[in-house]
Chain A
Amino acid sequence: MVRQLVALLGIEDERLALEWVSSAEAARFAEVVTSFTQKIKELGKSPLRLAA
């Protein structure tokens, strides 16, 4: 549902991620966060920020 709402607001789909990471998977948590942060940096400023 959030994905569809975000699409209506004109925000790219890639900016939203949902991942399940258990508390025992520290390394995986770090990896998920790092790669998402990297992706967001590559995407540049969000339309929301540009519009503001």
Chain B
Amino acid sequence: MNIEGLVNETKAYYCLDCGVCTGSCPVARYSPSFSPRLMVEKALMGKAEDFLRDQDVWSCLTCARCTHRCPANIDYLEFARGIREEALKLDNKGIPAHSGMFQSIMGIQTSGIKQDRIAWAKEAGSIADKGEYFYFVGCLPYFNVIFANFPSQPLDIGRNVIKILNKLGIEPVVSNDEKCCGHDMLWNGELETFKKLAAANIEVIKEAGSKKVIFHCPEGYFIFKNYYTKYFGDLGFDVIHFYDFLAEKLKAGELTLEKSNGRVTYQDPCRLGRLAGIYESPRDIINGVATSFVEMERSGENSVCCGTTGWMNCSTCSKEIQGNRLKESMATGADTLITACPKCNIHFSCAASFIEGIDIKIKDLTEMVVTAMNGG
């Protein structure tokens, strides 16, 4: 889509030039040259080429803080995605984190290659080939290799989800043919790659005969819910977030948990909170597993992004954002920062490993649930 089309689609022409976006933006805070307001203004004045060749196009975290506050309701996220598609046409590519390894892995999955990615799931509990419930695992098997030296193993999240579902009497489908959900490709401006991955995933789920697809990863959930439906219409199955599902089960008394001592705080993932509107379920679960839960100064709708998105442009600015956020979590007096997104966990663990003065445990919520399930 060209810039004019983009301006129309995102209703950027309603911009009031108020600067609320730039004022709310965590990137602009540490990289003062970055300004969403200016990019919108330039696009409106027909001067998009002023920024389309800049790295600024790739600096946005698509965290939706600006969109959420914009008085004119401009869809900055779609705008950011659209200008990336345009920038790619001018050969302006972002700087992929980890030398582009993730992008390669995602690209390879668009071929019909036969993966070998579920051995761990069979060991974690009981899974099925076909059935009502499908657990969409996402990139965890790949993360587990790439972040093998991190304190918590990314695949533990997957193992925990399977254990919890099993405890609830559910034997989910976990498929060897599941592919990357395409979230990062979409936000990297690669719409066609995204569509290929999405079409393949819809097929895999249909073949498994599943009617309820459960996601732990907020990105997968958000992208299925909003973009799979946008490009492929009715999917023929329900897209359910694991924490919504679990919170319901807890309310219904289908699972009992023992609280453990200690004070915890919680990082709202952008995609789960501002983008999917799921704030309560994780909090209900936290209150079921911890005796003391304190919010950070900026939480819920005001929460701050974990600093990098789409494995793109991980910079000193990302590290500033992460360090600052970790300090904010410590200021609550909590001993543990609970994350609900595998990437938040990875990004914060990375920052905590070398930024001085950071002393707080970082745990995924599923880990707390499994401990609580086994008696606290």
A-side interface residues toward B, CB under 8 Å?
1, 4-5, 7-11, 47-48, 51-52
Contacts and interface: CB of A to CB of B under 8 A. Distances in A.
B58 to A, nearest CB: 24
Given A5-B142, A48-B113, A51-B113, 4 more contacts: A1-B145, A4-B145, A9-B116, A48-B108
A8 B142 contact: yes
B294 interface: no
Contact of B146 (A1, A9, A10, A11): A1
Contacts of A4: 145
Main secondary structure of the interface of A (DSSP, over half): helix
A48 B141 CA distance: 19
Contacts of A9: 105, 108-109, 113, 115-116
Contacts, number: 38
B114 A47 contact: yes
Main secondary structure of the interface of B (DSSP, over half): loop
A25 to B, nearest CB: 28
A8 B148 contact: no
Given A5-B105, A8-B117, A9-B105, A51 B145 contact: no
Most chain B Cβ neighbours within 10 Å, of A1, A4, A9: A9
A10 B111 contact: no
A22 B97 CA distance: 31
B32 interface: no
B141 to A, nearest CB: 6
Nearest to B104: A5
30 contacts: A1-B145, A1-B146, A1-B148, A5-B101, A5-B142, A5-B145, A5-B146, A8-B115, A8-B116, A8-B117, A8-B141, A8-B142, A8-B145, A9-B105, A9-B109, A9-B113, A9-B115, A9-B116, A10-B113, A10-B114, A10-B116, A11-B113, A47-B113, A47-B114, A48-B108, A48-B111, A48-B113, A51-B112, A51-B114, A52-B112
Nearest to B110: A52
A51 B111 CA distance: 6
A27 B213 CA distance: 57
Contacts of B148: 1
Contacts of A7: 116
Closest 4 CB pairs of A and B: A51-B112, A51-B111, A51-B113, A10-B114
